[in-house]
């Protein structure tokens, strides 16, 4: 009897110990999950904060670029149109004078015609710069080819292109972004790089348009280039982000620069 009581006691002790152990174990599991959850949520918050910061930075640079673009347009309008129209207005005023001779009137008229033609030409050029009509009419490849021709006209830079018509899968906004990127790259090369040749290829491979741009100019230190406002690299990155595209720059001082852009089409 005594022995069986002892046994019973032992069994009860074991059961109690086991229950307490299970209790501890479940508490440990709960604590573990609770703490991990806290940690994960904290890192998520941190990530979200970084993302918002990045977006704000993007927005800021967009605004800055927009403002610069406006300034440039205003300058263009002023230089190429307003000042010329002033001359026209002045000459026209002379024409209204009663005592001018026929000869004078003729020469004034000729001057007015000349200047008006220049103004027309200029306004066409400005509009064209803002949005090349070929982009909408004939697609991205044609627009970029036209751009290359314009760059080559200067005879200073030689442009070698390999543009496949298949790259025309990009339409509308996407095409415009890619066009602007190329335009920005040409701008950089012309303004800063003092390059002799530019190699530009564009191909459509596996649901993505691959653009490769290379010049043999001065190049730059990447970290500095990204900070330099004039280069507009952040603008290129912003456009790439909008396109969901991946973009990589490669450049070193005196070794030119290379850009690879991969724009997914689906």
Partner 1 sequence: MTDISLYIADALTIVSIILAVLYVIGFTKNGKAYRYFTCYLILVAVIQIIMYVYAGKKMNNIFLFHYYFIGQFIFLSLFYKELIQKKWVLYILVLVLIGLGTNYAIHPEIFNEYHTIGVSITQSIIVVYALIYYYQSLTGRNLFLLVNTGILLYFMTSILFFASGNLIIDLNLPKETQRYIGIVNQFLYFIFLVLIFIEWYRSHRVKLA
- Residue 77: alpha-carbon gap to chain centroid: 25
10 or 207, CB closer to partner 1? 10
9 or 149, CB closer to partner 1? 9
Q: Which of 228, 233, 231 is nearest to 261 (CA)?
A: 233
* CA atoms of 164 and 204, how far apart (whole Å): 8
Query: CA dist 181 to 186, 213, 233, 257, Å?
Result: 9, 10, 9, 14
* CA atoms of 132 and 223, how far apart (whole Å): 32
Q: Classify residue 17 by burial, with Cβ atoms within 10 Å: 0-12, 13-18, 19+.
A: exposed
Asked if residues 259 and 248 have their Cβ atoms less than 8 Å apart, the reply is: yes
Asked if residues 261 and 240 have their Cβ atoms less than 8 Å apart, the reply is: yes
Q: How far is the CB of 237 from partner 1 (least distance, A)?
A: 29
* CA atoms of 69 and 151, how far apart (whole Å): 20
Work out whether strand 197-205 and strand 158-163 pair parallel, antiparallel, or are unpaired.
Answer: parallel
Q: How far is the CB of 26 from partner 1 (least distance, A)?
A: 4
Q: How far is the CB of 2 from partner 1 (least distance, A)?
A: 14
16 or 74, CB closer to partner 1? 16
6 or 113, CB closer to partner 1? 6
- Residues contributing to the site for partner 1 (CB under 8 A): 8-9, 11-12, 15-16, 18-20, 22-23, 25-27, 29-30, 33, 36-37, 40-41, 44
Task: Report residue 113 as tokens.
Answer: 């015609």
* Token pair 């509009």 in the structure block, residue: 127
Q: How far is the CB of 53 from partner 1 (least distance, A)?
A: 21
């Amino acid at each position: 009897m005594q022995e069986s009581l002892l046994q019973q006691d032992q069994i009860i002790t074991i059961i109690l110990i086991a229950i307490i152990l299970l209790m501890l174990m479940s508490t440990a599991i709960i604590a573990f999950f609770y703490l991990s959850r806290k940690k994960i949520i904290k890192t998520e918050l941190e990530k979200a904060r970084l993302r918002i910061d990045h977006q704000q930075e993007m927005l800021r640079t967009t605004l800055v670029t927009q403002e610069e673009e406006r300034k440039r347009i205003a300058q263009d309008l002023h230089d190429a149109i307003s000042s010329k129209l002033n001359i026209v207005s002045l000459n026209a005023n002379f024409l209204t004078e009663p005592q001018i001779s026929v000869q004078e009137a003729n020469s004034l008229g000729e001057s007015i015609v000349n200047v008006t033609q220049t103004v027309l030409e200029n306004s066409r050029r400005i509009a064209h710069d803002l949005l090349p009509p070929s982009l909408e009419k004939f697609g991205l490849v044609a627009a970029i080819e036209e751009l290359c021709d314009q760059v080559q006209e200067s005879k200073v830079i030689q442009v070698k292109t390999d543009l496949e018509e298949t790259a025309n899968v990009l339409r509308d906004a996407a095409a415009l972004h890619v066009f602007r990127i190329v335009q920005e790259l040409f701008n950089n090369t012309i303004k800063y790089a003092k390059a002799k040749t530019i190699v530009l290829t564009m191909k459509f491979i596996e649901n993505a348009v691959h653009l490769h741009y290379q010049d043999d100019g001065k190049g730059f230190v990447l970290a500095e280039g990204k900070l330099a406002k004039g280069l507009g690299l952040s603008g290129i990155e912003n456009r790439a982000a909008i396109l969901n595209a991946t973009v990589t720059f490669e450049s070193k001082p005196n070794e030119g620069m290379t850009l690879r852009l991969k724009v997914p089409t689906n």
